Structure 1
Amino acid sequence: MISFLLSIDHHFMSFTRLTITIFTCLAVLSVLSSCNSKLLTRGKYKVKKYQKNKPFVYFNQINVVNNKLSKDSLSVLKSGLETQLDDSMRVIVRQRWLLFKRIENPPVFDTAYANQSARNMQIYLKTMGYYNGKVTIDTTYIDSVHKEDPDRLQIRAATIFRVNTGPVFRIDSIALIPNDSNRIQILPIKELTEQNGSQTFLRKGMPFSEELISREMNRLIELYRNNGYYNMNRDAIYADVDTTFLALLDPSLALDPIRQFEVFQEAQERRKNPLINVYIRTKPKLKDSIFRQFYNRNIVVYPEYKGGDNIDSVQYIDSVRNNITVRFQEGKFKPAFIRRNLRLRTDSLFSSLKLNQTADELNKLNVWQVIRIQPKLVPEDSNAIDYDVFMIPYKRFTFSANVESVFNQVQSGLTTAGNLVGFGVTVGLQDRNIAKQGIQMNNTLRGGIELGLPPINSGLQATELSFSNSISSPRIPSWLFTRKSRRWLNRKTFLTSSISFIDRNINQNGLFALTTASSTFGWQFQTPGNAIWRISPVNVEYVKLYDLSQSFKDQLANNVFLRNSFNQGFVLGLGAASINYTKRFQNKKRQNHLSALRLNFEESGALAGRLKNAINLFDEELFEYVKGDAEFKYQIISPATKQERWVFRAAAGGGFLYDNDTSSMPFFKQYAGGGPNSMRAWPLRSIGPGASIADVRTGRNQFFSRSGDMILEANVEYRYNILSIWPNTLILRGALFTDIGNVWNFRNQSNIGNDTVVFQLKNLYRDLSVSVGTGFRLDFVGLFLIRVDVGYRLKNPAYPFAATNAGWRIPQLNDIENLFSRSTEARTWRYENINISLGIGYPFQW
């Protein structure tokens, strides 16, 4: 990263041009780092295991002639054309050691395979709406390499395909399920189709493609199957497309010269901009059962099913209500609990959506390990469907234990660490089925110690003991929300509690001791629009800081920000204590564009604060504040490779303590920047607030405690694949990123006159931090991802850096030696400019 920035003139401080330069460098890096093997040049790739004295396929180039295509559309088209290459024309390029590429076992070149590939491409063009497209083999080069050595002689063949797409056909008229044959049984689905016509993917003027037609046909089948048509499937409908200009076939045209001229003119225009008519019809001679609506009759549930049971030979106890039968052997579950979580309803039309929702909801309860729903037609009723629901339960109790250790070595090379070793033990007990209603309780007990190794901080350094409990019930009170809430998904009522004791001041040789306790009660649910809500009307948190060491007292005395941040007290929210809203969106026109929005609000003391005069605890330690934050993420997936993607994120939040004008928000409710999921060029809690004075490097075990009442942050990341180590199992991925943002405090009595930490719009440019970097991600596909991100502080707003060039710090050529030197000056330079973050999973998880 640094080497690519060296050419930037460090005397030029124009923000606009510097930003352009940064992104230009990132673009260069992305080109060099990503694996673009579409065009192989002579001598670029080594060739192994080729047949001697025979020409072999070395590379294929596809040249698309169409200047009206956008960059994305051209990329998608070329990617699709590449899939049409005959197997004996495909070149497989393997990558070794990130930089070196080679071809193994190239196929022998044969013009017959090249011609077949051209025919395949021409067929593909028609599926994409290019009915007049032509594909020709423009040139085939056959050249010899290593002619002077017969044992190394290679006869390479390079083929160039010229693809002249011609104009794309666009949709003119659309007819969905026309009843041309006047069949009575078609009328109901025709009416249903017209009622839902606004949901169609087809629009007049859109480019025609078979993929678009296929999506529309799938939509129609899904619509019919969600409205009772159990036997309806893709084989029952077909697409009929017609490019004929019907006006030319009008027999009266010869009698009207003026109309004849107009039609001929229109026909000429259609040659330049061809149109196509689309008709989606039902196939002729279908069985009547295809057009028959089915309703749900009986549902039989086996919640204690044991795999392989013969249900006819097992003695069951039946509970029947509303044609739903729950069959027990041991009575492990209450029938009402089972019925509540069935989205299927008797005496209602069959719905494939409800069937899938029932399976999903039962799975989310985490009570059964296997769920199988079997619909079956009823012989004695030609319009009815019965269901058997087989569910194999988990064991009710689960015990877990985990031992972990952490070791931080002495500082060396690029890393900064301590000389501490930690050990922890965690035990857990889970009950999956309290009161026979799927109510779940999780209990976790954790204990840990931290030891210092000689020669620095030897002996016991810290102890930790914590206990947490969570209870979750799979229902919410419908009387509190709305009657429609019974149709919401993923419904939960929860109560979580925890208490923690941390002592980091053993023998008065550390920092402090901290006790925290919290409890939250609320509800979670998913509305029909796929928005996830989490509402907590009661939230209680208590933090007590005590047993401070003299060194930490000195830090508090000398650092006003630290002193104002480490305030202890009591949080009590009642009514609207916390509301969290999350929703994901997908662009219907651009399926590769995804976005997500998260909103959060919380408060403390709005109601309880009115009782200050009556309750002494509220008067002395209750925090009264409001806090809100928002996060928006946007992702663009490469339509060609499906692997490369751009990820954008913007986040903003603020909290205001309104009952105390001499203090900031409580430190455990403030925002912190830095770390693997924020400003990655800074360690966690080491940035801000605002343009405050930077922490001086003091040694290996440096403590960062910076935070603020508000945060603004924006992130851009480009992700790509580097190497498939083990296909579909282990992949090395890369990323280029930039992070912009900071944290600030709101003005209060404690920071009057200190504008460097207070958010002011006029100082926003001065206070913003900017970082750039690169990262490597080892993806164990389907399991987890380990990532390492290296960030460089391109603009550091902290003083004294902000006093020079507004904080912009352009790397110099002589900075390279600071990367590896062990000198004190080099270590200080690394501390002030670079940070290495280790994380699990992607940043800004989707």
Structure 2
Amino acid sequence: MQFTRAAVTILFSFIAMQAIVSCTAFKKPTRRQYTKVKKYPIDKPFVYYNEIKVVNDKLSKDEKTVLGDGLRTQLDDSLQTIVKESFVFFKKLESPAVYDTGYAVNSARNMEIYLKTEGYYNGKVNYELFPFDTVYKGNPEKEQIRVATKFIVNTGPVFRIDSIAIIPNDSGRNYLVPLQELSNKYLSQSLLKKGKPFSEQLVSGEMNRLVELFRNNGYYNFTRDAIYADVDTVFLALLDPLLALDPIRQFEVFQEAQERRKNPVINVYIRTKPKLNPAVFQQFTNNKIVVYPEFKGGDKTDSIPYVDSVRNNIIVRFQEGKFKPLFIRRNLKLRTDSLYSALKISQTAEELNKLNVWQVIRIQPKISTEDSAKIDYDVLLIPYKRYTFSTNLEGVFNQPLNQLTGAGNLVGLGVNFGLQDRNIAKQGIQMTNTLRTGIEFGLPPINAGLQATELTFSNSITWPRIPDKLFTRKSRRWLNRKTFLTSNISIIDRNINKNGSFALTTVSSTFGWQFQTPKNALWRVSPLNVEYVNLYDISNNFREQLNNNPFLRNSFNQGFVLGVVNAGYKQPFRIKKHDNHSAALRVNFEESGALFGRFKKSVTLFDEQLFEYVKADAEFRYAIANPARNRELVFRAAVGAGYLYDNDTSNMPFFKQFAGGGPNSMRAWPLRSLGPGASRNDPRTGRNQFFSRSGDMLLEGNIEYRYNIWSIWPNTLILRGALFTDIGNVWNFRNQSNIGNDTVVFQLKNLYRDLSVSVGTGFRLDFVGLFLIRVDVGYRLKNPAYPFVLTNDGWRIPKFSDAANLFSGSDAARSWRYDNINISLGIGLPFQF
């Protein structure tokens, strides 16, 4: 993507600003914390800055930061500072309060209370002024008396959990026995573990878990108000009246008490409150389920004429008969005569919502009028309109590096039409048809007129179920169960008036199933995948390029794919020891020809054009979030490989190869412009020269640090920033077409030479809850392409003299920017899956 001189100047000015912010974000406070102070008290000391220092040698730096962020929330309201950020690095302190030592006293008291909630029962908080002079003398008429307060937090040892008792029946109440048995059955899921640091948040989370457990096992009336936590730090052995009669036992107890002072412990008991309504301890079962699939909103009334379909005490009430009763019942996770479960209610709502048939879903449980120990349900569903038509217009403008080596200004226009049917055969079967038309034309003086056309039709049919007999008995418990059939045909002509490159026809169809396991693993299995690519109407210019470039010729191998084993897997993970850490794994596998390739001798088409290959790729993402400071550190690793085993003279088909570059990969390179290996990166020399790079293997790693820059409109529109580095490349495997060309083939001894490295920064305009637009600017710190790799293995450390190339409009400067910098535009955050 090309930008004007002004755009490049502005972007790199912002990069410099972000670098300043990032380097100074974690420094200790100095005399000048803000670029400006507004509306401050004249001739009076005012609150300027607060520092919190946590003293505990046993805590890591990250643990101290988390605890410090919590302590900062305990500052007295009048000691809080209002800081507004603008234009990336300007910080303005606004309307600071007159300083009063009472604010610091209150803050210290609040912090000590907070320490107790985190298990530091012996914690002490003191405060003092910073050692530097607190008076700032500027304009005599506007003298500022700045006061910065330092809080020293000595946490002392943290209390750790010792004894744990959940719903103890120490009062002989028989109705507690079922709750005890249920909590013991799922004791392994408890958040309270012996030896774990105590905190009120941990105990609160355990109480929420118990309430959820009981409500999922029939206890409809059980709420958080029914239980409380009792904590005890008393060492009961010291209260033994017989201790004085046994000196040896007395010595042992005193020794243990001294050890407990160094490593204090706490006992936790979660009990039910006394004198509760007996209905709290009553188990309920499901009774009657009434579904209104054509609900129109408002209050439900029995005066409206309905047609009922009744089966197994599930009643489906119709007015117009838009849905089949079996389709409704099949997607209910609620079952009659089973125990009441709040989880089943949420799963039913989620399952109905994923069908994309109803726009509003309300499930209302209530105690049955027929039996006070049972629950009736009203399921109110407001449907979408059955048919949806959409259309949109797209436009793209591409400006070349310069008029001598570029292609002339190119303009692309596209129109998309879409038609969706949400309810085929009254069973929520959905069909989506999309027609895309597009043209590309050049502007004078180079290659004016029509350059390319595109016509693409796509059809997708989705059934809201899977054949359970093909899977395990547990498949009925899976969520988001779908059977899909997608088809696509695309015709692209890039040889208009015999003055371009080629024409390409692509036909594909995929059939398979999708489902989500109870552990949130999303599977996609395709027993049939067909793809056909036909390259024709090749211009003389492009044919010459194919003849002169073996890599390009072997990349454009034509044929079709026919696979029976294709699977995809995605799994998010919880990091139990770190609440703010998250991870996700994605794995894909596909093949072609494993079955149908055995018929090559009897089927001429298979022998001549069927690709036989295996391909697999995996991607892992790990994120460390700091919500208190609106920051996040994201790591990503990706690896993939494909091998064409029926032909030792060709690479993988080009439409199945891996590509590097673009907004979600190596961001210092445009899409499909990296690699393979250390191959020559020839500049474009004309409009009709085709340029696309891909490989049979991919290795890639990315690190991105995200932070907030400016809250333009709180919780609605936020400007965010990022610093990133990308490392990786694509390669080919060795075959006859690559013999003697080690620069494009993966070899472990050349891995360091072939790796590309980029660094950069990004800006993200986040319309919170809607979408995010981002611009990433990447610099090629290590470029493995020839001729750059001949010098210092491709490392290209920026020089001060290179700054002139950022803003100059000369051809040499624009060429330097083309070889070193890329600006990419994306929607959404990168590495999300």
Normalising by structure 1, report the TM-score. 0.93
Aligned to 1:419: 409
- 1:608-630 CA deviation, whole Å, 9 max, x = no partner? 11222222221211111111111
Give the C-alpha shift of residue 697 in structure 1.
Answer: 4.7
Aligned to 2:397: 407
Aligned to 2:375: 385
Q: Secondary structure at the match of 1:251?
A: coil
Give the C-alpha shift of residue 139 in structure 1.
Answer: 3.1
Paired amino acid for 2:734:
R
2:816 aligns with one of 803, 822, 829: 829
Q: Secondary structure at the match of 1:471?
A: strand
Which shows bigger deviation, 318-327 or 404-413?
A: 404-413
Aligned to 2:431: 441
Q: Secondary structure at the match of 2:439?
A: strand
Q: 2:318 aligned with 1:328, yes or no?
A: yes
Quick check: 1:740–1:771 contact (8 Å CA) kept in 2?
yes
Quick check: 2:406–2:685 contact (8 Å CA) kept in 1?
no
Q: Secondary structure at the match of 2:647?
A: coil
Q: 2:703 aligned with 1:716, yes or no?
A: yes
Unaligned runs of 5+ in 2: 1-14
Q: Secondary structure at the match of 1:629?
A: strand
> 2: CA distance between counterparts of 1:424 and 1:631?
33
Paired amino acid for 1:305:
F
**Matching of residues 411-490 of structure 1 within 5 Å:** 411=401, 419-490=409-480
Aligned to 2:384: 394
Give the C-alpha shift of residue 252 in structure 1.
Answer: 2.1
CA RMSD across the alignment: 2.1
Aligned to 2:3: none
- 1:459-513 CA deviation, whole Å, 9 max, x = no partner? 0011111100000010000111123211110000000001011111111221111
Give the C-alpha shift of residue 765 in structure 1.
Answer: 1.5
**Matching of residues 470-619 of structure 1 within 5 Å:** 470-574=460-564, 576=565, 578-619=566-607
Q: 2:266 aligned with 1:283, yes or no?
A: no
Give the C-alpha shift of residue 708 in structure 1.
Answer: 0.7
Quick check: 2:541–2:688 contact (8 Å CA) kept in 1?
no
> 1: CA distance between counterparts of 2:686 and 2:48?
57
Q: Secondary structure at the match of 2:290?
A: strand
Aligned to 1:17: none
Q: Secondary structure at the match of 1:536?
A: strand
Q: Secondary structure at the match of 1:214?
A: helix
1:149 aligns with one of 118, 140, 143: 140
> 1: CA distance between counterparts of 2:691 and 2:767?
32
- 1:700-730 CA deviation, whole Å, 9 max, x = no partner? 8874311111111111111111111111111
Paired amino acid for 2:346:
N
> 2: CA distance between counterparts of 1:40 and 1:341?
62
Give the C-alpha shift of residue 380 in structure 1.
Answer: 4.1
Quick check: 1:34–1:722 contact (8 Å CA) kept in 2?
no
Give the C-alpha shift of residue 108 in structure 1.
Answer: 2.4
Which shows bigger deviation, 326-335 or 551-560?
A: 551-560
1:793 aligns with one of 780, 783, 797: 780
Aligned to 2:737: 750
Q: Secondary structure at the match of 2:294?
A: coil
Aligned to 1:260: 250
Q: 2:112 aligned with 1:112, yes or no?
A: no
Quick check: 1:377–1:384 contact (8 Å CA) kept in 2?
yes
Give the C-alpha shift of residue 797 in structure 1.
Answer: 1.6
Quick check: 1:34–1:721 contact (8 Å CA) kept in 2?
no
Paired amino acid for 1:307:
G
Give the C-alpha shift of residue 411 in structure 1.
Answer: 4.2
> 2: CA distance between counterparts of 1:333 and 1:41?
71
C-alpha spacing 1:681/1:86, structure 2 compared with 1 (3 Å): same
Aligned to 2:75: 85
C-alpha spacing 1:204/1:139, structure 2 compared with 1 (3 Å): same
Give the C-alpha shift of residue 92 in structure 1.
Answer: 1.0
Quick check: 2:40–2:96 contact (8 Å CA) kept in 1?
yes
Percent identity among equivalent residues? 73
Alignment length (residue pairs): 817
Quick check: 2:677–2:731 contact (8 Å CA) kept in 1?
yes
- 1:498-557 CA deviation, whole Å, 9 max, x = no partner? 101111111122111110010000000001111110001011101011111222112212
C-alpha spacing 1:454/1:34, structure 2 compared with 1 (3 Å): farther
Give the C-alpha shift of residue 37 in structure 1.
Answer: 9.2
> 1: CA distance between counterparts of 2:787 and 2:134?
63
Quick check: 1:238–1:283 contact (8 Å CA) kept in 2?
yes
Which shows bigger deviation, 829-838 or 227-236?
A: 829-838
- 1:766-787 CA deviation, whole Å, 9 max, x = no partner? 2111111111111111111111
C-alpha spacing 1:418/1:122, structure 2 compared with 1 (3 Å): farther
Aligned to 2:5: none
Q: Secondary structure at the match of 1:525?
A: strand
Give the C-alpha shift of residue 80 in structure 1.
Answer: 0.7
Aligned to 1:4: none
- 1:729-779 CA deviation, whole Å, 9 max, x = no partner? 111111111111111111111111212211122221221111111111111
Q: Secondary structure at the match of 1:266?
A: helix
Quick check: 2:394–2:415 contact (8 Å CA) kept in 1?
yes
> 1: CA distance between counterparts of 2:755 and 2:19?
24
1:783 aligns with one of 755, 760, 770: 770
Aligned to 1:21: none
Aligned to 1:130: 120
> 1: CA distance between counterparts of 2:309 and 2:24?
62
Paired amino acid for 2:63:
S
Give the C-alpha shift of residue 322 in structure 1.
Answer: 0.5
Give the C-alpha shift of residue 114 in structure 1.
Answer: 2.5
1:232 aligns with one of 203, 213, 222: 222
Paired amino acid for 1:689:
P
Q: 2:760 aligned with 1:773, yes or no?
A: yes
Aligned to 1:638: 626
> 2: CA distance between counterparts of 1:42 and 1:669?
57
> 1: CA distance between counterparts of 2:47 and 2:569?
55
> 2: CA distance between counterparts of 1:561 and 1:762?
22
C-alpha spacing 1:147/1:653, structure 2 compared with 1 (3 Å): closer
Quick check: 1:294–1:350 contact (8 Å CA) kept in 2?
yes
Give the C-alpha shift of residue 311 in structure 1.
Answer: 2.0
Q: Secondary structure at the match of 1:454?
A: coil
> 2: CA distance between counterparts of 1:52 and 1:292?
67
Q: 2:644 aligned with 1:657, yes or no?
A: yes
**Matching of residues 233-248 of structure 1 within 5 Å:** 233-248=223-238
Quick check: 2:408–2:444 contact (8 Å CA) kept in 1?
no
> 2: CA distance between counterparts of 1:146 and 1:584?
56
Aligned to 2:659: 672
Q: Secondary structure at the match of 2:334?
A: coil
> 2: CA distance between counterparts of 1:356 and 1:694?
55
Q: Secondary structure at the match of 1:374?
A: strand
> 2: CA distance between counterparts of 1:190 and 1:699?
78
Q: Secondary structure at the match of 1:178?
A: coil
Which shows bigger deviation, 311-320 or 480-489?
A: 480-489
Q: 2:681 aligned with 1:694, yes or no?
A: yes
Which shows bigger deviation, 505-514 or 358-367?
A: 505-514
> 2: CA distance between counterparts of 1:736 and 1:565?
35
> 2: CA distance between counterparts of 1:816 and 1:466?
45
Give the C-alpha shift of residue 36 in structure 1.
Answer: 5.6
Normalising by structure 2, report the TM-score. 0.95
Aligned to 1:221: 211
Q: Secondary structure at the match of 2:470?
A: coil
Paired amino acid for 2:140:
D
Give the C-alpha shift of residue 148 in structure 1.
Answer: 5.1
Quick check: 1:713–1:739 contact (8 Å CA) kept in 2?
yes
C-alpha spacing 1:148/1:540, structure 2 compared with 1 (3 Å): closer
Q: Secondary structure at the match of 2:468?
A: coil
Q: Secondary structure at the match of 1:479?
A: helix
> 2: CA distance between counterparts of 1:740 and 1:244?
56
- 1:823-845 CA deviation, whole Å, 9 max, x = no partner? 33222222222211111111111
Q: 2:148 aligned with 1:158, yes or no?
A: yes
> 2: CA distance between counterparts of 1:277 and 1:653?
51
Which shows bigger deviation, 354-363 or 52-61?
A: 52-61
